Every structure is written in C-alpha cells, then in structure tokens.
Amino acid sequence: MAEGRFYVDEETKTLVLEGEDSEDRFYIEEEINLEGNRYLIVVPAKEDEEEQGAYVLKLISDNNGDEVLTVVEDDDEFEKVRRAYEEK
C-alpha cells in the first residue's frame, strides 16, 4: 500500500490513497468501531490485482489532530477486528 494523503469518497464508498506518483483505490467493505478505535476493512478496487485479499486499516489521530491510516499488524488486534467483522 502506498503512503501519503488519503480521503474517502463517500458516494462510492472508496478509500483513495494518494502517493507521490500514484493513486490507489480501495473499496470500503466495512467500517468497524471497536474499543474506541475506528477500523476500515478494504479491498483493492483494481480487478487485476494479483492479491485480492482484504486489508484492516486503523484510523488514528496524530499529534496535530489529523487522521492517519495505519495497517493493523498486531495479531491480537487483528483477531479482535476480524471477530467483530464476522459478527456483523
């Protein structure tokens, strides 16, 4: 996944990541609020992606109060989000 700025296109439920030289789009499959945190389950919008797996992203606020996306890499946190997603 590219690093850079992002925005959510509410009309199409698409997450757009803008990098220096690229733009990546992901469909937002689900938004989950869990233990005071906000998570997005996203899948690549490109049909030709080799890996069609989903990503679990966490929205956090940085020191300036801006929202930042991070990939959930902690196994325990990932499992909590996965269970919450499966219960929906």
User: Do the Cβ atoms of 50 and 36 come closer than 8 Å?
Assistant: no
Mean pLDDT on 17-21: 84
pLDDT digits (tens, 9 = 90+) for 21-30: 888 899 999 9
**50-54 — which CB contacts under 8 Å span 24+ positions?**
54/29
pLDDT digits (tens, 9 = 90+) for 28-56: 999 999 999 999 999 998 876 565 788 89
